[in-house]
């Protein structure tokens, strides 16, 4: 084995992991034990670097650090290869319900989720982007990506949005949280090896809906479920969304409706989108205020989802040929 040893900065760059995450894994799970210099600086071997890379790949495939920290490198590699093989089929989502370590399916508890939400919210109140980023990283160490988005980030943004609307938070707090969380989510993208044959979903917010954090979370979940995602961002005219769906032969269009709950123009945009899409394309809508427009969704035959777990179920139904309009 190569006797070279590397400082934290080099290891962080080589693995794509932050120094904070590496330290947490060392302290909490004894995932690796670095060499210490006389001045107590960490130095990592080639084997340490390889192990950290394996951890990162396994976690990106839905595994949890607490479940794999005591596995050998060979066992972790076998898991990654198995997941990669499964991903070649469009019928297999990247996150499976059965993982290599036969522990309970629940990753954490309501108390755990609430703790992370509270830590993130406190950082938002204090206008501390560094503290908020640290809190998000700590949550990502504890939870797999789908759980993190569904149980921490989504309720956090809902709480921040509600308190901004009722005046409990200033707009600067909301903007700071949105920016930090957006950058954090961007860093979570592009880690999936989606087959080109996978079904396509177009994700956007329609004209008048300028908040796209929910749409971004939806895009991440769809990628985790093995879908090709065409992410268009916020405030898109219906004809542009329809054009993207045509161009990429999409199976579905997913819209995030967050604010406002009383946009009189949304009905016209929804009708234009419906008319511009082939009958084979399903429309999925969700978001904090989507229920306020239920009459519109019923008129155009859109499926309104409640929560990201419901969204995953809906994607599974579409993949298996289920007709949402038959509901």
**23 has pLDDT over 50:** yes
Q: How high is the pLDDT of residue 104?
A: 36
Neighbours of 254 (CB within 10 A): 29
Q: Please, which contacts does 94-98 make with residues 24 or more away whose CB atoms are closer than 8 Å?
A: 94/61, 94/62, 94/192, 94/223, 94/224, 94/225, 94/226, 95/61, 95/62, 95/144, 95/145, 95/146, 95/224, 95/225, 96/62
**310 has pLDDT over 50:** yes
206 and 182 share one domain: no
180 and 211 share one domain: no
Name the range with the highest mean pLDDT among 55-59, 74-78, 113-117, 162-166.
113-117
73 and 154 share one domain: no
245 and 314 share one domain: yes
220 and 284 share one domain: yes
> Which CATH number does the domain housing residue 143 bear?
1.10.1240
Handedness of CA 221, 100, 54, 70 (dihedral sign): positive
**pLDDT one-digit tens code per residue, 205-225:** 999 998 888 899 999 999 888
pTM across the whole model: 0.67
Q: In total, how many domains does the chain have? A: 3
**pLDDT one-digit tens code per residue, 222-252:** 988 889 999 999 999 999 999 999 999 999 9
292 and 214 share one domain: yes
In a domain, 152, yes or no: yes
**pLDDT one-digit tens code per residue, 92-132:** 444 333 333 333 344 457 888 999 999 999 999 999 999 99
């Amino acid at each position: 084995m190569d006797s070279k040893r590397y400082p934290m900065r080099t290891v962080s760059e080589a693995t794509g992991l932050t120094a904070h995450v590496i330290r947490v894994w060392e302290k909490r799970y004894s995932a690796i034990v670095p060499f210490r210099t006389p001045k107590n600086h960490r130095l990592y071997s080639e084997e340490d670097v390889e192990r950290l890379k394996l951890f990162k790949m396994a976690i990106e495939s839905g595994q949890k650090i607490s479940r794999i920290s005591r596995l050998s490198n060979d066992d972790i590699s076998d898991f990654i290869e198995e997941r990669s093989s499964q991903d070649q089929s469009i019928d297999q989502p990247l996150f499976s319900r059965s993982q290599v370590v036969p522990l309970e399916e629940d990753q954490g508890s309501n108390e755990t989720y609430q703790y992370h939400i509270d830590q993130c919210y406190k950082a938002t109140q204090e206008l501390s982007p560094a503290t908020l980023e640290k809190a998000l990283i700590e949550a990502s160490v504890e939870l797999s990506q789908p759980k993190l988005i569904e149980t921490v980030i989504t309720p956090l943004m809902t709480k921040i949005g509600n308190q901004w609307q009722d005046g409990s938070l200033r707009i600067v707090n909301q903007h700071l949280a949105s920016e930090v969380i957006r950058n954090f989510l961007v860093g979570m993208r592009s880690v999936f090896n989606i087959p080109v044959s996978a079904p396509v979903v177009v994700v956007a917010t329609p004209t008048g809906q300028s908040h796209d954090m929910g749409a971004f979370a939806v895009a991440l979940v769809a990628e985790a479920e093995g879908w090709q995602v065409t992410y268009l961002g916020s405030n898109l005219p219906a004809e542009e969304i329809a054009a993207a769906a045509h161009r990429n032969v999409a199976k579905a269009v997913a819209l995030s409706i967050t604010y406002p709950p009383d946009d009189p123009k949304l009905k016209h945009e929804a009708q234009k989108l419906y008319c511009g899409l082939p009958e084979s394309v399903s429309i999925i809508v969700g978001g904090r205020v989507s229920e306020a427009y239920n009459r519109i969704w019923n008129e155009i035959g859109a499926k309104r989802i409640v929560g990201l777990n419901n969204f995953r179920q809906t994607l599974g139904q579409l993949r298996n040929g289920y007709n949402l309009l038959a509901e």
